[in-house]
A and B are shown apart, each in its own frame.
Chain A
Amino acid sequence: MAGAIPRCSVRHLQRLFGSCSISAPVRSVRTSSCNRAEEIVIPNRIPRSSTDILEALASTVGRDSSGPHYKYSDDPYLTPASNVAKRSFSLSKESGRKAARWIRDKHSDLFTHRPEDPFIEAFYPKISFTDESDVSEDTLRELMQKCMVSDAIQVYQICKTKGVELSDSVRQELLEFLGYYNCEDALDEDWVEERWYRQGIMSRDRIRNTWKDHGLAEELFKSLSHQGSPAYCALIRGMTRYYQVDRAWQMYQETLEKGIPLDTETYNSLIRVASLMREGSDLRWKLVKEILTAMSEAGVRPNLGTLNSTLESLSQIASWRQTKNLSLQVMAEFNRLGIQASLASYYFLLIIHCRERGPISHILIDIMNHIADKEFSIQDPKDTFFFVTAMDVCRNHLHSKELAKRVDDLLHTGNNYMLIGDSYKESIYYRHYFALSCSTDTVDQFMELYNELVPHIYTPEPGVMEELLKALKVHEALEYLPQLWSDMIVFDHTSREKLLMSVLSAMTCHQPSEDNTKLTEQLATIAWDLWTRVQRMEEDRRNKITWSGPMIGDLLTTLVRCGEYSKGVEVMQKISADPHIVLGSATVDSLQTLLDAAIGNDEADTGVMVVVYAVDAGHQEAADMAKKLGSSLTLNAEHRAKLTSVLGIDIIADLKEKEISES
């Protein structure tokens, strides 16, 4: 992956060197030797931006899946593997930056030494405003440029108290700005990690009316001397963005009455929330159509946003029978207008067509046929939802590994990877990809994928790990179990009961033979490690693992089968001394395995212990086990007394009697 220069980098380099393509000088040199008439044409200088060289260089560096991400410290000890570690490492790095910035802004008087020329603004404390500050329209514009919402509000208030006259144009700009942010501070653009980890949480509860009624934005709207089209547009956009739907609709009616024209984006925002204004699918669609017709009548040109908003409101009535057909009609309509669909449009199509309980739709295949090998840039906020949803459809709807591979290829085309969205979507994307591969591929194919992505690109969640372990058990590919176990330790999965259960039950499938002695040893080590880990957990731990009957049975079976008989006995001693550590009791099969091993090792003590435990556990087979023990080994008086006391009859005597009577 890292060796070959990616295609995009060649393109970059070509752009960088312009017409002086790499092959051109070679050819001219050759021809000049035989024909001197041909001249070397020196190309004109092509102006470059300051980042072009860096971009060309950066595009030669691919993602190295064998090492940690660049953002982590270059120190093996500090390489995170589990999801929690990844998250906390990157966020703590950023929080260090935040702390530094806080100090700088809090004590701005200490940072006055400015030796450098030119002046670097990013290194200096931000200007704070007080009531005495000298402010003007330009200050406001600058603050809007820098996206500082609360400062802009403060400066506006200062202007008001000091009586600084603000023109209508700056008021309009401020109205748009505050309407967009709903008078709340936006996340600073420097906090990349926070945004990367936050979006998943943010996107969940968004459909709520959070618009600040009668806030500063509305005050600005009223303060305008002439409330024209831009003012109405800005306010309606703001209200719909924060789901103040009723009042936005009122404003829209006002514009209709007063004959104020609206622009495309404002119509789009109304379409987007249209389904919140009506109940019932057909009424909702009717409203959307109404707005679209109004747009057409007003001679407003639709754009990509119109397409996506229409599809979005259709996706909210996706259970309606006509929706699928309508969505295709909408696509056709906008295609006719020459508007290119973005990934968000395809995302909405997927939602509409691939319903959880609906009939299977193969629309993803058609979409992939259409967009394969294309490069995308972000055009719509929902563009980032496409890849994760497409992978979801591949896994849950179509169960197609080939299609998943195509989606993955598209994701790794050009700069498309940036459209994965955020950490949350990325991990869901890989979760689906993994689970699909796990259920459709052979184990070897799957482990190839696993080795490529884990742990630096993706850390499997416990659920995925469980599925993986089950797959290993089904395919009897236990040779991968040691690797998975060490990964589980690193990922901090060893305190999850379900996973331990899966590991133990997978290990019981192992049949030791001459060929796999190494694996046998490893499995025994794993079993013993698992036991000691669980035993080491503190009693007051919140989710301490309690041994269950099948688990302890599997553990005993594995230990005995893999040649760690003495350790098996140790476990047996522990559980017969403290039966309360096991919920239920060890399975009969495991006890019989242990008994056989005890007989094989000529250890009557252990045998008796096993039989006593079996009796206490209420296993029906206890008597048979006792008979087997009695007939295979010679027991001393103490053993016999013990057996007699638990079983109530002297088995050995019984046996002898039987022998006598038989003979």
Chain B
Amino acid sequence: MAPFEPAALPELLPVFYRRLFPHGAYGRWLGYGGVEKNYFQLREFSFTLRDDVYVRFQSFGSPQELEKELQRTNPYKIDIGAVYSHRPNQHNTVHLGAFQPVEKELVFDIDMTDYDDVRTCCSSADICSKCWTLMTIAVRVIDRALVEDLGMKHRLWVYSGRRGVHCWVCDDAVRKWSPALRAAAVEYLSLVKGGAETVKKVNLSEPVHPFIRRSVSVVEKYFEAYALQGQDILGSPERWDKVLALVPEEHRELLQSEFPKKRDSVQRWELLKGRMERTRRLASSGKGTACYADWEVMLQYCFPRLDINVSKGIGHLLKSPFSVHPKTGRISVPLDVQRLDDFDPFAVPTISSLCQELDAAGDDTEQEDGEETEPKRRMRDYRRTQLAPYVKAFEQFVEEMERGRRVERLRRSDLQGEF
């Protein structure tokens, strides 16, 4: 497979938008079953075109119109915005103040650069298989909370294309949430606080909220492999000093002197953890105060870091699923939450690899009937490529929502009671 060259995009994008982009499922997603009038028509899209030309407030009369426009302009990047009070492409005809964002999915953006202070393997835009685990942990922690605590059902997790993940929560009620409620959700989900000047970013005290307990148990499953072995956070005096800086003074000295005697990070962690657990045991029988430094370290090194600004505003634009990342060429594909541990960001197809696959499969088309329709041909096209499982996952997500709407319709008509 030839590596991706950004310069090739102008040739590759037309193929992508004609033969690979899942227009059908995409339109069904954003139409939300046509339950609310003009929902699709009031949605803002923004495109980044060639030469960094950025256009906002694009809107379309139907998914078919959107498809045609994508195939006409071949944008480098697609962003999805809010559903507005008026058609976004006519916003100039509405007087100031009347044109307002009304609804949007609740979105989250988790970016690997926000973890630079706790990654030893990479920094800024780089990622590797070692630190990708942070994303796995983030998805698991957040998704659990979204489902169990916040009662959300329809979540679409997407790989951003380079160094992070996005989540789109599409429940009907949630799309109507106010900015205040969205901000509150982010605050509820935040445990790591402080910027460059703050050394200790996680501080726990009793009583410890169930959200924290449950998140710690998720992190715990990955901690040994990721932090102790992969990142080796207690592997050298330099590294373990950073960790000990997060532990209260009264325990630091002892750990400082014992650590060199231990063989590796795993052993050192056992020591630290054991000591903390002991304080908690004593505290519960009335002796002394409980210390949660082991949890605090785990959380500071692994707990998800959310950007509140992305989630708070209803009008905020976020990269669309199945958009191409202009620098890496990778497609923003949905993540399968059930098989999260198997996900490899480096195995995600790039637009060039997909086009190559199409070329290779091209010979077979000779045998096909020349009268087939466009959508059918496209369906077979993506199936010949590595994009197939991702499109399938997306379609399942959309079907799940459609099923939910049918159930709701039945429920409501039952309530109305036909006699």
The answer to whether A binds B is no
